[in-house]
Amino acid sequence: MVDTAQRSTAPKKTLGSTKPAVDTGPVMVAGHPGSPTVNVAALNRQLLGTWADVRVRARELTARPELHRIEGQSMEEHRVRVLAQLKILADNGHVHRAFPVDLGGSDDNGGNIAGFEELVTADPSLQIKAGVQWGLFGGAVLHLGTKRHHDAYLPGIMSLEVPGVFAMTETGHGSDVASIGTTATYDPDAQEFVINTPFRAAWKDYLGNAAKDGVAAVLFAQLISQGVNHGVHAFWVQLRDENGDFLPGIGGEDDGLKGGLNGIDNGRLHFDQLRIPRTNLLNRYGDVAEDGSYSSAISSPGRRFFTMLGTLVQGRVSLDGAAAQASAMALTIAITYGSERRQFTAGNDTDEEVILDYQRHQRRLLPRLATTYAQTFAHDQFLVKFDQVFSGKADTDDDRQDLETLAAALKPLSTWHALDTLQEAREACGGAGFLAENRLVGLRADLDVYATFEGDNNVLLQLVAKRLLTDYSRKFAHAGTGALARYVVAQAADRAYHGSGLRTLAQTVADFGSTARSVGALRETNVQRELLTDRVETMIGEIAAELRPAGKLPAKAAAALFNAHQDALIEAARSHGELLQWEAFTQAVESTQDEGTKQVLTWLRDLFGLGLVEKNLAWYLINGRLSAQRAQSVTAYIDRIIARLRPHALDLVDAFGYRQEHLRSNIASGAEKERQDEARAYYREQRASGQAPAAEKAPKKK
């Protein structure tokens, strides 16, 4: 084993890193003749994405100590601090980009989300509480209300004069918003809506700002007028008086201590025949006249409901980006520490090895780094799509459906990955990772709920699967008999080709016992694309065939048939999301100008793509997509890629661009290297002076 802890000799920008410079080692390092080097500054700009300048300015803000979380604070202290931090954001204008220009915003939807995501480096509680105030509460008024609501409410929301609550989720209904129990019944005589919580499960729950700070709410309830339920709509509701007490007809509770995000005052609300003016209905998509007649430009209740909820997709967009950033921070900490921490004298009688030189340590961290890169590139494309839809540049029904499907596909993958990466990074840092001062345990606790709010991840993937099935069926909705017959023949031929082993036989013949030939095929971009795409298309096609009888079955039997394939549907949707990430990564590689950086990114992309194949090798073997030899070569090549990437690991995390003011992790500050250097110098001096004690030798056996 060789010491590859040292850094590249290639000149590059340090991006403000507070880590001390280190010497270049003699072997297996980036910069060694024939080895590519990474242009860290250029890669950093690429990772920052379309709104790079916004992100840079946001990071200057989040580097300020007054915005940082103080570890060990009580829940009450944390809540007070975060509310004060929100006032700093409001005064700074950081959170106003998405609001109208005439109210002091800049109508910059993509830039708004990009800047908002960066708050996770300061404190996830700050990010989410800001998201409640300006993203959900303010966003609901902006997107569901009309000009009279904008003029009346948005200035107070933007300045934080009116802290608010986004009151959608109920104790009994989280992801199933259409089934919430709270009602808003119109009284034409008084021209008022009567808000009521008819049973305990209909209490609004888990609401940020509800326990303490919120003075108003955007409330979601079933709109009932003239005896007809027109479905879920949003209403402006005043909650508290100037003394902070609930108004008559309103009650609530504090959710109390949570597993994380305790800087946010989550709480519950309930209503008892509360009356609000008719004009408090946020009426962009549906309105009630004085006489109680209902009108909407969208005649379909289902389409109206999904259009209203679709305007609030920005929550999922921001969680996808923030989760990717949390993963990047965790890997920066763990890889920096792993390149400095030494343990065990495996290949040297005197010096201990850098733990990142151990293959298992590399296997734990570098594939997760590859996934984080894929998610970062995919998120930027996602954010561009979001900006196009919300700016009106691409605002058709299809565009909005595509955006919602992207959100439902990517948010689950990035939030699950963040939890997995934070945990693995914590373990990879040993006991040091368990110290609160090194951020990993705190970030892990705070990010936990990201997997279930703004849509439970499994429910979201089910939505993706339904869209994939819909798109699949549309291909044949207007197909003639001839087209269907040709499709059946093609499917039969495909099954015969794969099922008989002809494909795997062809691979075996082509590879002819050579691992190098197997590897050569797998690292081809088109081969990876084919493997990943084929898995998604095959799974969806098979599920669609299994579900085809559902249209002729009674409702209960059809639901049972769908339920029997739910797990397969979710797995297909997950594979679809991973394919989107791989495509985004591939496009990023192809657009990279610096040749050394492009080579390293290609290896990293291959690690991500073949890692997906390795994870699903059983499927590829069972379905005849890979021969046994080529399947074996997947793992062999992954090991080779990881070894090639090891000298570049620090450059790849440095390219994320986090300074110590963002990480605030002692083990990523260079302190560990100082300790190790001190220890090595001590033992070196002992040996040189001849004062080192002799090691005890075991007696020889006779």
Q: What is the pLDDT of residues 278-316, one digit of tens each?
A: 999 999 999 999 999 999 999 999 999 988 988 779 999
pLDDT band at 471 (very low <50, low <70, confident <90, very high): confident
Span 49-103, pLDDT tens digits? 999 999 999 999 999 999 999 999 999 999 999 999 999 999 998 899 999 999 9
Taken in order of first residue, the domains within the chain and their CATH numbers are 52-159 (1.10.540.10), 167-302 (2.40.110.10), 463-478+501-647 (1.20.140.10)
What are the start-end ranges of the E strands in 423-568? none
CB 455 within 8 A of CB 408: yes
pLDDT at position 696, please? 86
Q: Is a pLDDT exceeding 70 seen at residue 8?
A: no
Span 660-695, pLDDT tens digits? 999 999 999 999 999 998 888 998 898 899 888 888
11 dihedral zone (left: phi>0; alpha: psi -120 to 50; beta)? beta
| Alpha-carbon gap, residue 651 to 40, rounded angstroms | 6
The amino acid occupying position 100 is P
CB 207 within 8 A of CB 136: no
Q: What residue has token string 């948005």?
A: 154
* Mean pLDDT over each residue of the chain, to the nearest integer: 89
Which residues make Cβ contacts (< 8 Å) with residue 630, sequence separation at least 6? 504, 507, 511, 518, 521, 522
Of 171-185, 207-221, 496-510, give the lowest mean pLDDT range. Answer: 496-510
In DSSP terms, which residues pair with 164 in a beta bridge?
216
Torsion of CA 522, 524, 525, 526, to 10 degrees: -90
How open is the CA angle 67-72-73, to the nearest 5 degrees?
65
Q: Is a pLDDT exceeding 80 seen at residue 260?
A: yes
CB 167 within 8 A of CB 220: yes
* Token couple for 439: 């951020």
| Main-chain phi, psi angles of 179, to 5 degrees | -105, 15
How open is the CA angle 177-183-186, to the nearest 5 degrees?
130
CB 341 within 8 A of CB 358: no
Q: Is a pLDDT exceeding 90 seen at residue 206?
A: yes
| Alpha-carbon gap, residue 129 to 82, rounded angstroms | 8
Provide the total of helices (H) and of strands (E) in the chain, helices listed first. 26, 11
Longest dimension (CA), the chain: 108
- Model confidence, pTM: 0.89
pLDDT band at 640 (very low <50, low <70, confident <90, very high): very high
Q: Is a pLDDT exceeding 80 seen at residue 412?
A: yes
| Alpha-carbon gap, residue 371 to 673, rounded angstroms | 27
